[in-house]
Amino acid sequence: MKKVAVLTDASSAAFLFPLWYRYYGEQFGAAALNVVTYAGMKAQFEDFALANIWELGAAYDDGLRAAVMSDFVAVLLRTHDVVIRCDVDEILVPDLARHDGLKAFVEETTLPYVTARGIDVVERPDEMPLDIEQPIFGTQRRFGVLSSALNKTCLTSTPLRWAAGFHGASELPVFSSLYLLHLKFADIARQVAWFDKMRLHVAPGSEAEAYYSVGEQHLRGVAKAFAALPVGGAEDEEAFAARYMQTLWRDEALKTCQGAFFRQDFLISLERFAGVQPDGAVEARGPRNLALGKPALVSSVREGEAEQDPARHAAGGNNGLITGQDGFHTAHEQEPWWQVDLGAAREIGKVVVYNRMDLPERCTRLALYGSVDGQSWMMQAAKLDGKLFGGADGKPYVFAPVPFEARFLRLGMIGEGCLHLNEVEVYAP
């Protein structure tokens, strides 16, 4: 078993520090936890069992902490096999379809270091303040945004140097099935209080002071902009990572590889991380909706719809929101359709179709098609009875054909009309 050290820096034992402490401490033990803090702040952490607590004789400074933490990582690697370095508002979670939690990922990876795929977790207007004692991802917070600035090399078995903010490292990024879930925008009220506190502990006139002085209006404006993004888009995470890699350049002064900062312009579902507990345990999950947040497309878009791009408009059909209203609306045409790209060929056992509740009579005859390449289609099942079906009332229509393999699924209206469904879910057998 690998000997693991976890390292962060903190200016307060409040806010999100208790979540960081519990999440990493329960998985690797309190004796694995190491904290760097700043002048006059060490006493705050007396109630937490830690391997080490180092107090720097200086105020918080982004460049200073990157240099010091780089040194500490090298020191810890003299007695440990792996060091995890992340901020207190960053939770590392692996692909749960491949690894049974972060501890399992650490044991199973053979890479000398790993760059996590960064996701800004987003607070939406209909979501309550965070309860850090309860599971967060896919439940309290359902959506996030891929962010290149959060593509951080945060797990290593070899000494590295980091740039300010840990947004660049001395080695090129190496991605695996590890994700960094960033909670800065997951609870804006909590973040506003955190920024107010941090302004008291940074040097006047410093870049840190400017960073923490943006104000509540700015933070809420960012959250509002995130919440307004559509759910789902055409670019998958591999394409996003490739786009980021193309921007890399080497800062010769810092001896680090840097990349451009940008985010996707659509939300992705966090359902894949559902079941992760605050202590890092992974709770057994129910059947996974394979279509949730995946790229979708419609045959046409009704004139007058706010979003006329067929891919963006189609995303309303698999965004996880069962409202009884239409998630997408095609134009009036012969055999209109909606389709989803699952990203890879999967075995399909069930497709659940949620109708628009105010006009259910417009959709009574449907066909389900499958394709492995998006070009050649085969009908797998059909609803020919003409009977009404519901959705948000708990009475959706369920296609349950003989299991088949497909990457692309298409629902097509049989006949002429407008296709406007609320939501489509896809499950393995």
**Is the pLDDT score of 350 beyond 90?**
yes
**Matching residue, tokens 């309550």:** 128
pTM for the model stands at 0.71
**Region 211-236: what's the mean pLDDT?**
80
- Residues 91-102 pLDDT 10s: 999 998 788 899
Fold of 296-427: Jelly Rolls (2.60.120)
- In the chain, CATH 2.60.120.260 covers 296-427
41 alpha carbon, distance to own chain's centre: 32
Q: Within 13 Å and on the Cβ side, how many CA atoms surround 238? A: 3
**Is the pLDDT score of 403 beyond 70?**
yes
Q: How far is CA 174 from CA 7, 15, 86, 152, in A?
A: 20, 31, 16, 10
**Region 189-204: what's the mean pLDDT?**
73
Query: In this predicted structure, what is the pLDDT of residue 191?
Result: 79
**Is the pLDDT score of 199 beyond 80?**
no
- CA distance linking residue 366 with residue 396, whole number of Å: 13
Helices (H), 177-264: 188-198, 207-211, 216-227, 237-245
Q: Where are the beta strands (DSSP E) in 148-274?
A: 153-156, 175-182, 249-251, 256-258, 268-269
**Region 330-343: what's the mean pLDDT?**
95
Query: In this predicted structure, what is the pLDDT of residue 220?
Result: 79
* Per-chain mean pLDDT for the chain: 92
- Residues 158-178 pLDDT 10s: 999 999 999 999 999 999 999
Confidence of residue 209 (pLDDT cuts 50, 70, 90): low
Query: In this predicted structure, what is the pLDDT of residue 343?
Result: 84
Say if strands 175-182 and 268-269 run parallel, antiparallel, or are unpaired: unpaired
**Is the pLDDT score of 370 beyond 70?**
yes
Check if the beta carbon of residue 413 is closer than 8 Å to that of residue 280: no
